[in-house]
């Protein structure tokens, strides 16, 4: 599940260390241009709570684990009068096993056919210059069962001739599962925008700032003509 990594020659901030309760973990943070990794008290913000400064050149294994994107942290342990710093990270084998288990659970969740008798409410999200419009109709982009299982049901995409940008169902677990099950049971799905919320907030995607839009929609189903 986890692998222990040695922490070599950290510089300790004793004032922050003294604020730690027994056997707590530290969160890591760094930037590519920095020569060190910072380790902070959990729940500290704004650069406060810096406990350790760890040189990168002496801690390459820790740096590689952190940059892999897998959970990596430092455990502070007090044994009698001694304080130990032990680094851990989740192994790829553990993550692969966990992903396989989630895929099996999701495959079971969407296994049963679903024949919808009523419409359902859902939320849509798009990123780009064009907002949703009330009354706009979007059509579900059907995917294979393997696609949904491999990606744990994300994304569930919709398209419209009036909106030339990617649109996804937001993470509403119940609505998402019903729409996927209906699609796999031979139904087409259409989403009608009932209300749109374009606060024009900017988010970064692929390094570019773009506008973010959401919409409340009603999804209806029709049997597909095979």
Q: In terms of domains, do 152 and 219 share one? A: yes
Q: What is the pLDDT of residue 115?
A: 92
Task: Give the pLDDT confidence of 155-207 residue by residue, as tens digits.
Answer: 899 999 888 888 999 867 888 999 999 999 999 999 999 998 866 566 665 66
Alpha helix segments (H runs only) across 110-172: 145-150
> Would 80 be classed as within a structural domain?
yes
On average, the pLDDT of the chain sits at: 88
How many domains does one find in the chain?
2
Of 92, 126, 160, the position where a domain reaches its end is 92
pTM: 0.66
Maximum average pLDDT range among 2-11, 18-27, 195-204: 2-11
Boundaries of domain holding 15: 2-92
98-127 pLDDT, tens digit each: 899 999 999 999 999 999 999 999 999 988
Calpha distance 96→79 (Å, rounded): 34
- Cα separations in angstroms, 40 against 17, 27, 74, 225: 10, 5, 9, 58
Is 44 contained in some domain? yes
Q: Which of 36, 60, 92 is the C-terminal boundary of a domain?
A: 92
CA distances from 210 to 153, 156, 200 (A): 25, 21, 9
Does any domain span residue 99? no
Domain contains 64? yes
Please say if the pLDDT value at position 208 is more than 60.
yes
Q: How confident is the model at residue 46 (pLDDT cuts 50, 70, 90)?
A: confident
pLDDT at 55: 96
């Amino acid at each position: 599940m986890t692998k222990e990594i040695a922490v070599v020659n950290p510089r300790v901030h004793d004032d922050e260390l003294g604020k730690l309760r027994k056997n707590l973990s530290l969160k890591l943070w760094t930037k590519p241009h920095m020569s060190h990794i910072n380790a902070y008290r959990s729940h500290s913000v704004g650069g406060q709570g810096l406990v350790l400064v760890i040189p990168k050149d002496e801690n390459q294994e820790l740096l590689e684990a952190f940059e892999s994107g897998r959970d990596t942290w430092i455990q502070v342990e007090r044994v009698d009068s001694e304080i130990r710093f032990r680094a851990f990270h989740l192994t790829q084998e553990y993550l692969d096993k966990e992903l396989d288990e989630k895929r099996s659970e999701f495959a079971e969740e969407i296994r049963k056919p679903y024949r919808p008798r009523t419409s359902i409410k859902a939320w849509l999200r798009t990123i780009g210059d064009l907002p949703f419009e009330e009354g706009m109709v979007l059509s579900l982009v059907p995917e294979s069962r393997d696609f949904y299982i491999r990606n744990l049901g994300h994304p569930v995409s919709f398209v419209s001739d009036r909106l030339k940008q990617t649109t996804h169902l937001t993470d509403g677990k119940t609505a998402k599962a019903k729409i996927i099950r209906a699609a796999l049971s031979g139904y087409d799905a259409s989403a009608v925008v009932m209300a749109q919320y374009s606060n024009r907030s900017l988010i970064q995607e692929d390094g570019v700032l773009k506008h973010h839009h959401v919409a409340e929609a009603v999804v209806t189903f029709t049997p597909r003509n095979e």
